[in-house]
Chains A and B, each alone.
Chain A
């Protein structure tokens, strides 16, 4: 893995994180004719540049919420605003990194990362941004490889690079490190923090891993079981760089697990 040199990944200085306002968002799916409520009047706000984690039981609606924020789906009711504007269609300023890397198998690693720039018609001038993003995730040298020639962790890193190359102002991460081995995972965690600090975007991270949420983010929102409501809003008032052995993290961990209904294990 590479260390972050300042020249590695430049973001235009005028690009900063967005403010996110979610007001009483409810969403329901249709499952075999019966309505399946997934989100129940969820409301919260994220300050510009804040790094927030969403924690909750499996199937509670975290991915659904991220899809709404990306503009891929629209809520049954309620409002989602970015910088005061209602979210409409998907936009490259808000990028979602999916739970599965879902790389395009017919494109090389380089071409996969270049996807966004190509779609926006700026690939001609942005080629070196692709190289920089690949360097950032430690995959330089694999430009010409096809996705099936990568390991699961490498594929996930390509998916990350594919998002980062667009300089998103809102980065939505759906368990981006879920498939990585624990060693790569630790390194990538540190890099995510470094990346967020440097780019200054607003970031929302969905994870199952309580330690990861606490180590990375400034604030952990805990969801209850479906239909999801926010059951706790835990500020992580620790400066970066953080240390995994910090006793305060242990305390917060206990609090978070309690809200997840796992207090018995402690």
Chain B
């Protein structure tokens, strides 16, 4: 279980140490000062170095950089007064510094020196332009994607969990389902694309089916292995205490298997992203996948990069949400495994 670790781990550890040593807050935060200076530097490069490839919104990008520098200075001067925000900013201080340098170099290679060829590469303000001018369409795409993913993932998770419990519990069900799983499971869900678009009445329902399929396989396998690996003594104890079959399934087998189930849910979420993009590109004509396709078709590479960033944020937010749910449901594991 240790393989799956929320990215908050290191962060909360840092929070713990910084909370302990009150003296640290009094000390000068050098990384923060450097990062702030670097952001100001980036802003200066963006604002004062003339562009070879003129693009709007250079000014706005410079202002954004100055704002980030201001945030760093604020945290620097107020110590830990800002609470969680301050701790977060301080923990990611080195990242702030590196990001400023990265932005500066990117800006120089594209807008200022045109080393990277247009239109395949976009300048930072080119991407900012997309967000400012095309946010409505992007937002709508995100909404479509999230809705489609939620539907498919939900059905897939429910079906996978139910199947996993059934074949983990019932020998007869296992007899019939194992060979099918072994044969069909490893196929990438996208291989079913032509068939499912043919069978299902709409491309929407076909996409839901494909995402559900991609989710269901890992959830089934891990739920099943979770149920199969439950300590037999748990059943013996419950049976001597008068447990019925129902009790053994729902109060012993399933809770004991839940850590495995969550591994399956994480894996299913990962595979469902891939299927989502493909399904949107080829089928539903909406959502981020479709936006990507469209941007590429028009050689609007800035839009493509912008959409990719949004997609990355969406996926990682969804994974974070799943982590939060796991942390709640499996809170009893805290202190039992490396959290």
8 Å CB interface, A91-150 against B: 91-92, 94-96, 98, 100, 102, 104-107, 115-116, 118-120, 146, 148-149
Residues of A close to B252: CB separation below 8 A: 104
Residues from chain A with Cβ under 8 Å of B333 in the complex: 105
Nearest-CB residue, chain B, relative to A162? B241
Q: How far is the CA of A104 from the CA of B254 in the complex (A)?
A: 12
Known: A98-B237, A105-B332, A118-B251. 7 other contacts (CB 8 A): A70-B240, A72-B236, A92-B241, A92-B242, A94-B240, A96-B236, A116-B242
A104 to B233, CA, bound (A): 10
Taking CB atoms, residues of chain A closer than 8 Å to B99 are: none
Instruction: Tell me which residues from 190 to 242 in chain B have a Cβ below 8 Å from any Cβ of chain A.
Output: 231, 233-234, 236-242
CB nearest neighbor in B for A94: B240
**Contact residues of B between 169 and 199, Cβ < 8 Å to A:** none
Contact in complex: A146, B242 (CB < 8 Å): no
In the complex, A67 Cα to B233 Cα: how many Å? Answer: 11
Confirm or deny: B335 has a beta carbon within 8 angstroms of a beta carbon on chain A.
yes
A128, B107: Cα distance in complex, Å? 70
A35 vs B330: C-alpha distance in the bound complex, in angstroms? Answer: 42
Q: Which residues of A contact B336 (CB under 8 A)?
A: 105, 146, 148
Chain B, Cβ-Cβ closest to A116: B241
- Within B54-71, the residues touching A (CB, 8 Å) are none
Interface contact tally, CB-CB below 8 A: 69
The answer to whether A119 and B247 have CB atoms under 8 Å apart is: yes
Give the complex CA separation of A107 and B251 in angstroms: 10
Tell me the complex Cα distance, A107–B241, Å.
16
Taking a contact as CB atoms closer than 8 A, the residue among B242, B251, B258 that contacts A120 in the complex is: B242
How many chain B residues have a CB neighbour from A under 8 Å? 23
Give the chain A neighbours of B258 by CB distance below 8 A: 106
Bound-state Cα–Cα, A91 to B243, Å: 9
CA distance A119 to B231 in the complex (A): 18
Asked whether any CB of chain B lies closer than 8 Å to the CB of A90, the reply is yes
Given contacts A105-B332, A106-B332, A149-B335, contact A90 B255 (CB under 8 A): no
Contact residues in B for A98 (Cβ distance below 8 Å) = 233, 236-237
CA distance A149 to B333 in the complex (A): 11
7 contacts between A and B (CB under 8 A): A72-B240, A94-B240, A98-B233, A115-B237, A115-B241, A119-B241, A162-B241
Complex Cα distance, B238 from A102, in Å, reads: 11
Shortest distance in angstroms between B242's beta carbon and chain A's nearest beta carbon?
4
Residues of B within 8 A of A (CB): 231, 233-234, 236-244, 247, 251-252, 255-256, 258, 330, 332-333, 335-336
A170 to B231, CA, bound (A): 25
Contact B243 A106 (CB under 8 A): no
- In the assembled complex, which residues on chain B have CB atoms less than 8 Å from the CB atom of A107? 255, 332
Asked if B240 contacts A100 (CB within 8 A), the reply is: no
Q: Which residue of A lies closest to B248 (CB)?
A: A119
| A146-B335 Cα distance, complex, nearest whole Å | 10
Q: In the complex, what distance in Å separates the CA atom of A98 from the CA atom of B241? A: 12
Report B-chain residues with C-beta under 8 Å of the C-beta of A72.
Answer: 236, 239-240
User: A146 with B332: in contact, given A102-B231, A104-B255 (CB under 8 Å)?
Assistant: yes
B238 and A119 within 8 A (CB): yes
Q: Is the beta-carbon distance between A90 and B233 smaller than 8 angstroms?
A: no
A93 to B244, CA, bound (A): 15
> Bound state CA distance, A105 and B242, in angstroms?
19
Verify A115–B335 contact, CB threshold 8 A: no
Cβ-closest 3 pairs across A and B: A92-B242, A116-B241, A119-B243
Most B CB atoms within 10 A — which of A72, A96, A106? Answer: A106
Quick check: is A166 within 8 A (CB to CB) of the other chain? yes
**Contacts of A146 on B, CB cut-off 8 Å?**
332, 335-336
For the complex, what is the distance from the CA of A72 to the CA of B234, rounded to whole Å? 12
| Contact partners of B233 in chain A: CB under 8 A | 98, 100, 102
